[in-house]
Structure 1
């Protein structure tokens, strides 16, 4: 039970943290889905989550974002993520069957081949200005114009199977593509409605917010101030890609090869972000990184923080250099270490993530820094991690 008016952290492994304050739950980099043999084993699944008030994503690698689209679609929380990751939410109903509800678009199951109840005003046939002939509303649009031409009629049924002729629809960033299962021919269907801001493919409206559009701007949830900052892209060294080949064979788990490369390749060079939290009642601060970097120019206004949350990233040959840089740059009272469990077996076995070696190496470079290693699936009050005081007090 979380005491009232206290900030509690709950680590789920990898970079997946829950921040709980006065019955408000903020989730960072959700990862419930693991490879077989994960240690320690996470005792809950993504379907055990009862509610999420705010969902944050630092970047799109699958060890950070695997369950992000599912949770965003299911709970419809206030969501801040890279634009490329937000687009994955709109693909999800095609694969999972979830009723979808987010940021101006919703779907529901209904009779095959017929229109269903939606929040859109459906007009048919489409206006003559439609290019090409059939149109589906862009998220945020108040209407859903469709074309009706006999057997080519497109009915809106959760973007699920639509007609005998056009059964498969693939949603892209600016359009839908329908495929004729008989001939295999494809046809583009333009997406219309509220245009994207900039060229990110998603408007910063409703519950979904592209971090590229709101970086540097603070928002408040339950009295907690959160500010996102862009920190470049995550680096993965060639030696680790080589290890992706070697480790499954070394540990007699060749079946893990496909999963390993699938996890590694998703959003490989996507934008990365950090989040600055200011907690009530005394303004204690935590700066949360999902990846290591030295690209922190956008954080120039931050002199120091109380808690610096950083990952142990042995996939980056420069992990010690970047760890030392971040600690010296933000001078935290404590460095909160995460991302060191065996969530991606056999790629993240403890033999590759030796905490004793890590502790010794960091203390040689930053001898005055207090290290706090995240406790797996145990609620910990923020005051236990560090005697929280405002950074300005010395």
Structure 2
């Protein structure tokens, strides 16, 4: 007898289709407007998006760029970081954070993380400060802000620049202040999967320092204030007009979307509360988490097994990050140990989440996690 066809319920880690369907009329109008005006580089939408983003974040300057990686590089260059300098950051993040340090000729120095929050352990930062330390890059990982007051105190004591990597935390807050506005620089990514994402690459630097803002604006445009009068060796790192237009459509929704993400995180917490074999992400009282990811820890070496069992049911999940930065081939010569980061790399698993995820989908995911653990 022919066996019945089994259709899996496909659950992506992030489903943008609902957002696109809802906003499509506005998005098409904004793109058509760019096409009709014929200004594609550094046009009206770029300038207006910079103004609107600065107003939303509560910062004096927002400089739009072509990626979050370039934001990190240009922020370090604006701060004068270069060969011979050291920059402290986390070993548990995307490679771009350390890569930017290496790109400007400085040396990345890693301080281990707090396994509860996945973020830089502020109690370990001072241990690795040396006379060569020039800056520190706290990464607001998965949407949760680093405890910034101790970082700022150390920066003040040792004369360090603070560059916030806010790629995953647009709209997150720390004691009433928006992430990315607390240090000397805030660096943002608008990669499509981010809480505020373009439909291509994009990035931004925020700062309250007029001199830094002017230098970054020059660096993104081949080191010039005036065309064909280059004063610095710079980059071509401009956010294009179409992506700026898309981001302008989406920016007014960011608080609503972030609130929905927090609500979805709350649903997971209720469904997975006290489930043996996993730990849920911590949420610190000093800030407002925006849940770019909902990342659990799967204990007892079962992470890959659980991920495979979820995949067999059509549920996508992602490991952010399977290899700590200090153990990547490019930094293997450092031969250092960061025990918490190494432990997390073998345990973390990010479940599907987003502002439009349905409770029924979350119930299916949670039930599947619990069954897989049983």
The question of a shared fold, defined as TM-score above 0.5 by the shorter chain, is answered with no
More strand per residue: 1
More helix per residue: 2
Which protein has the larger Cα radius of gyration, Structure 1 or Structure 2? 1
Higher relative contact order structure (alpha carbons within 8 Å, sequence separation ≥ 6): 2
